Every structure is written in structure tokens, then in C-alpha cells.
């Protein structure tokens, strides 16, 4: 089986790699050609006619005809697409929508078309092809991928929305499916704890040589579940049972894939007898490669993988967003990836000019080594000059194509583990607290903590409230509100990848003292801006904190 799988990966990947390399040798010509293809294909759409696509012949024409917009500029079109209207942004059917958090409290629904889905699949095939060149044995044993459900719901006209990675997993060819340790129905389990238990149950039953999922915190959570539930997992593997409860139809589908494995269960028992744990590095001794993100805010989690998985090579999956797949990593232990010039059309704004009224715009072939840029995307799924609010850095070149690393979300946004928390989410939540509880708030600031994988809220009130009320009423209400206005915050909290909020009640006068301190240090009074979302703890000294409250377990 591994021979057939390797042959399929090599056969598919070789042609795609040649096409990719040809584009990397002539990025300006490739991008101009791609832009013209997209404009020609979609010039009769409502958006294309409104922005005169048929009259655009150069990147300069495109820049003048189409304004830079974030998701809110496209939301009216996408809302109509979700009701079944055609020919709005693209001249293709919409197969599904991916769901991600929006900055206004309403989720973003990103269209997925046949072209965009095909392009994403091709990039994944190239990733496997290049990984196989460097790690010839990484497909020798079973593989495991951890994804989200392909379908989480349906629009009013019946179009599904959910996870593209789940859809790809669901539709992988039979030759690949047979090598995957975790059957797709596992990802349809609704409860996060049950889902992780099921992932551990199926993965432990096989000897893995490849394990992949975008977020390294998922891999750390899996390791924790394996050790915490070691006795039940070993018993289930021995008996050929699930070891967890699921909805009856789903339980029958999963149970049908199992059989007793006394030999494997004995191997796992011996590991527990020797280590009193089930560490992945002991359970999967043939593991040759991990695939996950290694940069940005999740980089710290990736650095911790060795404690559980040993010295296994880790290859980044690339700069991937709900809106587009952008880069192709080609080396281990680095977030750097080659810009895929065949998939999307890109424009770049220098990071230090983002706030200018008319910032300079650079194309892919004009980028400079070591510089950071905000990226604009034009995709085959109907996003045009889309401001994704991400900052990337040019770390090198592959032929003439830039090599990029994701640095961080842009202004007013934090992203510890994929939640993409925007300052608007915090504003909406605190406004709701003021209205719901008649709460008199002087000032507040939310600070992400990477080491603890949670947020700290610094809060100054104008009136006294009891400790019990803050602990048992206010803090749960803040958590619920953040989950309501940000679907990905809810998902990361439910899965345990993002930990509970910590609240610091501040002494009266704290916010004013910080303002005075900033002015004394030379900042002009009229230019002083309070940071609602800050990367730094907003303290004059530790005495500013009156009391600290930890959230109760959910």
C-alpha cells in the first residue's frame, strides 16, 4: 500500500512542481497572466460589470478600478450568494462556504468554488510531493490528519458551510483513505472531548509515520488526552470497542471499522508500565514527520512538541487562511513558504504605510528581503483586492518568487491559537456587560498571554461590586459574549486549546495614571490613545491590581 501511495503522490506532484517552478522563475508575467484570466472569466458578474473588468488590461488599471475592501465590502454579495443567487462575484457555482470569525460580530462566510477548491488541493499535493522527497519513509505506515467537520450547517438555499480541510479529507481517494488511521466520521462528533477521545482511540490503534493538523495546540491536546485516558483507551483497543459514546448512527459507522487488537493493547500497556503515560513518542516509534504551523503566535506551541513527540521533523503547512492558501513550505522547522504565484493574485502594502490614505502598492516581483507587508488577495473564489489584515515578512527568494513567513494579524487583532479576536469583539462584549448589568466601567484592556494560552482582562470600575458577583456572574457572562461575537473563540474554548479568561480588578485611578505617565514620557495629550487590545500588560506597577479572579472550569 505504501508503494502505491508514494507512486500516486510522486506522479501527481511532479507535474505540479514543474508548473510551480516555471511560475517562480517569471513572477511578474505569471501574475499578470493570472489577473487577466480571473478578470476575463468573471467580467460578466455583477461585481465585474460594476468595476469594469472588461476594460482592465494592466495591474495599474485594476488598482484604479477596484477599491481595497475588507469582508464587509463583500458581505452584501455573499449574503445574496447564500440565498442562491448566481453570477454575483464569480461565474462558477459555489460548492460550499467556509466559516470564520468576522470583526463585526457576524461570522464571515467565504465562498468555495471548483477553481479555488482545485487550486487548494493542488497545493496540498505539492506539499506531499516535496515532503516525500525529503522524507522518503514518512508514508510507510499509517497517516493521521485532524480536521474539522466538512459540513456544519446549510444556508437557506441548501448550500453547505463548514471546513474545506474536512471536505478534502472526506473526498480523498480510496488509496489514501486506506492509509489514514482516523476515519472521517470521527470529525462529525459534536462534543469536543468525545472527538479528541475518538481521535486518540483510532490513532493509537495504528503505528503512525505521519501526523498532521494545522494548529500545534491540537497535537499537544491529543497527547494530553492519550495519557489522561490511557486505561480506557487501551481497554477499548484490546476489546475492539469504541471506548466512548456517540449518536447511534455514527456509533454504528465507527464501530464497524474496529476489531480486537490484543497485541497492540499489550504494546501500549508496556509503555504505561515503563513511563506511567502514553506519550506519542513512545506509542508511534515510526513517526517520521509532523505537519503543522510553526510560526506566528502558535510558534511557541510548536516548539513544545518535542516534549511529547520527540525529535521528529516538523514541516509547516503554509500560510493558510479561510480566504485562501498562499504559500508552499519546502523546508522543515520554519514557517517560511514560497508564494504560490499560480493560485491567487497578490498585492502588498509596506507595513509602515498601512495607515496612510493612499499607501504605495507593490507586486510580488517588487518585494524586498527583510521587509514586512500587509497582503491583499484576489482569488478565484470571488475576493478582489481583499484586505485580509495579515502581516507577512519576506525571508528569502525561490528562483524569483518571494519566500514569506506569516508574522501576525494586522492592527487591532490578536490570534493566540486561531481565534482571531478583534478589538470590535471586545468592545461589543464590554458594551453588552454595561447594558446587561448596568455596569459602570471606567476603562479596560485585554492582553493575550502566549505562555498561558489565555487572555487577561484588566478592568477598572466606577462602582464597587462583590467578589462573588464578579467571579460567578460577570466572568462567565464575558466568556459567553466573546463566544457569541466570535465563533472561533467559542470553538477554541470548547476544544480546550484556549484557556479560561483571567480578570484583574484595578485600583481606582489606574487608567488615568497610565495616561499621565505616557504624557510625562513625551506623548502629546491630544494624540494619546488607550489600547483596548494590547500586547503588553498595562501596569504602572503591580500595586495597580486590586484583586485577581480566575475563571471557573467550564
pLDDT at 397 over 70: yes
CA distance 538 to 409: 21
- Residues 466, 490, single domain; the answer is yes
- Residues 259, 341, single domain; the answer is no
Last residue within a domain, chosen from 409, 440, 469: 409
pLDDT in the model for residue 526: 41
If you compute the radius of gyration of the chain from its CA atoms, what whole number of angstroms results?
A: 25
CA distance 152 to 291: 25
pLDDT at 551 over 90: no
pLDDT at 536 over 90: no
Last residue within a domain, chosen from 261, 280, 312: 312
Q: Identify whether 125 is part of a domain.
A: no
pLDDT at 524 over 50: no
pLDDT in the model for residue 323: 94
Lowest mean pLDDT among 41-45, 181-185, 295-299, 411-415: 295-299
Q: Identify whether 154 is part of a domain.
A: yes
Q: Identify whether 131 is part of a domain.
A: no
Last residue within a domain, chosen from 382, 409, 436: 409
Q: Which of 268, 310, 319, 320 lies closest to 290, judged by CA?
A: 310
Lowest mean pLDDT among 181-185, 417-421, 520-524: 520-524
pLDDT in the model for residue 527: 44
- CA angle, 367 then 369 then 373, to 5°: 55
Which residues constitute the domain of residue 487?
A: 415-550
Q: Identify whether 204 is part of a domain.
A: yes
C-alpha cell at 72: 464587509
- Residues 183, 265, single domain; the answer is yes
Coil/strand/helix, residue 407: strand
Q: Identify whether 124 is part of a domain.
A: no
- Residues 144, 168, single domain; the answer is yes
pLDDT digits (tens, 9 = 90+) for 221-230: 999 999 999 9
C-alpha cell at 28: 511578474
Q: Identify whether 105 is part of a domain.
A: yes
Cα dist from 97 to 3, 109, 150, 382, 390, whole Å: 36, 5, 10, 12, 21
Coil/strand/helix, residue 119: helix
pLDDT in the model for residue 519: 66
- Residues 94, 165, single domain; the answer is no
Tell me 259's DSSP state: -
- Residues 223, 271, single domain; the answer is yes
Q: Identify whether 257 is part of a domain.
A: yes
pLDDT at 297 over 80: no
Average pLDDT over residues 190-213: 95
For all residues of the chain together, what is the average pLDDT? 92
Average pLDDT over residues 434-456: 92
- Residues 324, 308, single domain; the answer is no
Pair type for strands 502-506 and 545-550: antiparallel
In total, how many domains does the chain have?
Answer: 3
pLDDT in the model for residue 522: 66
- Residues 348, 264, single domain; the answer is no
C-alpha cell at 134: 525529503
pLDDT at 468 over 60: yes
pLDDT at 554 over 60: no
Percentage of residues in the chain with pLDDT exceeding 90? 74
89-92 long-range contacts (CB < 8 A, ≥24 apart) are: 89/42, 89/45, 89/46, 89/47, 89/381, 89/382, 89/383, 89/384, 90/41, 90/42, 90/45, 90/380, 90/381, 90/382, 91/41, 91/42, 91/44, 91/45
- E strand or H helix at 456: strand 454-461
Task: Identify the band that residue 377 occupies on the pLDDT scale cut at 50, 70 and 90.
Answer: very high
The model's pTM is 0.84
- Residues 422, 388, single domain; the answer is no
- Residues 189, 294, single domain; the answer is yes
- Residues 327, 419, single domain; the answer is no
- Residues 162, 15, single domain; the answer is no
Percentage of residues in the chain with pLDDT exceeding 70? 96
Average pLDDT over residues 348-362: 91
C-alpha cell at 5: 501511495
pLDDT digits (tens, 9 = 90+) for 15-66: 999 999 999 999 999 999 999 999 999 999 999 999 999 999 999 999 999 9
Task: Identify the band that residue 356 occupies on the pLDDT scale cut at 50, 70 and 90.
Answer: confident
pLDDT digits (tens, 9 = 90+) for 270-283: 999 999 999 999 99
Residue of 104 and 473 predicted with greater confidence: 473
CA distance 116 to 90: 11
Q: Identify whether 545 is part of a domain.
A: yes
Amino acid at each position: 500500500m505504501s508503494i502505491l501511495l508514494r507512486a500516486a503522490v510522486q506522479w501527481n506532484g511532479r507535474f505540479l512542481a514543474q508548473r510551480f517552478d516555471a511560475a517562480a522563475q517569471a513572477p511578474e508575467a505569471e501574475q499578470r497572466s493570472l489577473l487577466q484570466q480571473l478578470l476575463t472569466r468573471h467580467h460578466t458578474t455583477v461585481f465585474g460589470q460594476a468595476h469594469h473588468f472588461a476594460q482592465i488590461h494592466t495591474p495599474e488599471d485594476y488598482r484604479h478600478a477596484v477599491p481595497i475592501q475588507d469582508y464587509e465590502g463583500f458581505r452584501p454579495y455573499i449574503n445574496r450568494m447564500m440565498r442562491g443567487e448566481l453570477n454575483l462575484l464569480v461565474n462558477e457555482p459555489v460548492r460550499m462556504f467556509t466559516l470564520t470569525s468576522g470583526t463585526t460580530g457576524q461570522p464571515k462566510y467565504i465562498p468555495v468554488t471548483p477553481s479555488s477548491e482545485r487550486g487548494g488541493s493542488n497545493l496540498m499535493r505539492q506539499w506531499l510531493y516535496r515532503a516525500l522527497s525529503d522524507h522518503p519513509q514518512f508514508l510507510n505506515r499509517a497517516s493521521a490528519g485532524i480536521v474539522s467537520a466538512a459540513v456544519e450547517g446549510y444556508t437557506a438555499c441548501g448550500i453547505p458551510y463548514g471546513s474545506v480541510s474536512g471536505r478534502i479529507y472526506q473526498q480523498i481517494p480510496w488509496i489514501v483513505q486506506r492509509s489514514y488511521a482516523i476515519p472521517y466520521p470521527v470529525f462529525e462528533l459534536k462534543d469536543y472531548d468525545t472527538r479528541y477521545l475518538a481521535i486518540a482511540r483510532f490513532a493509537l490503534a495504528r503505528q503512525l509515520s505521519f501526523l498532521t493538523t494545522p494548529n500545534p495546540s491540537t497535537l499537544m491536546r491529543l497527547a494530553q488526552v492519550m495519557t489522561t485516558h490511557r486505561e480506557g483507551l487501551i481497554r477499548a483497543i484490546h476489546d475492539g470497542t469504541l471506548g466512548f459514546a456517540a449518536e447511534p448512527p455514527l456509533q454504528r459507522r465507527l464501530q464497524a471499522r474496529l476489531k480486537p487488537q490484543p497485541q497492540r493493547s499489550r504494546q501500549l500497556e508496556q509503555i504505561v508500565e515503563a513511563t506511567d503515560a502514553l506519550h506519542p513518542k513512545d506509542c508511534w516509534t515510526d513517526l517520521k514527520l509532523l505537519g503543522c504551523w510553526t510560526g506566528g503566535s502558535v510558534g511557541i506551541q510548536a516548539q513544545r512538541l518535542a516534549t511529547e513527540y520527540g525529535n521528529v521533523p516538523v514541516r509547516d503547512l503554509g500560510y493558510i487562511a479561510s480566504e485562501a492558501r498562499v504559500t508552499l513550505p519546502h523546508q522543515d522547522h520554519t514557517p517560511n513558504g514560497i508564494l504560490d504565484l499560480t493560485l491567487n493574485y497578490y498585492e502588498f502594502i509596506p507595513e509602515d504605510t498601512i495607515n496612510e490614505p493612499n499607501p504605495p502598492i507593490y507586486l510580488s516581483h517588487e518585494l524586498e528581503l527583510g521587509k514586512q507587508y500587509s497582503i491583499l488577495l484576489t482569488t478565484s473564489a470571488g475576493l478582489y483586492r481583499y484586505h485580509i489584515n495579515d502581516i507577512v515578512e519576506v525571508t528569502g527568494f525561490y528562483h524569483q518568487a518571494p519566500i514569506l513567513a506569516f508574522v501576525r494579524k494586522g492592527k487591532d487583532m490578536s490570534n493566540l491559537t486561531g481565534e482571531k479576536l478583534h478589538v470590535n469583539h471586545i468592545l461589543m462584549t464590554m458594551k453588552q456587560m454595561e447594558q446587561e448589568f448596568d455596569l459602570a466601567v471606567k476603562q479596560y484592556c485585554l492582553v493575550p498571554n502566549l505562555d498561558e494560552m489565555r487572555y487577561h482582562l484588566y478592568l477598572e470600575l466606577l462602582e464597587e461590586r462583590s467578589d462573588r458577583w464578579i467571579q460567578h456572574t460577570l466572568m462567565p457572562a464575558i466568556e459567553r459574549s466573546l463566544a457569541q461575537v466570535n465563533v472561533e473563540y467559542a470553538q477554541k474554548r470548547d476544544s480546550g486549546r484556549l484557556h479560561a479568561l483571567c480578570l484583574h480588578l484595578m485600583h481606582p485611578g489606574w487608567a488615568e495614571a497610565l495616561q499621565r505617565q505616557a504624557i510625562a514620557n513625551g506623548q502629546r495629550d491630544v494624540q494619546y490613545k488607550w489600547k483596548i487590545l494590547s500586547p503588553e500588560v498595562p501596569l504602572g506597577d503591580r500595586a495597580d491590581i486590586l484583586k485577581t479572579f480566575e475563571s471557573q472550569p467550564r
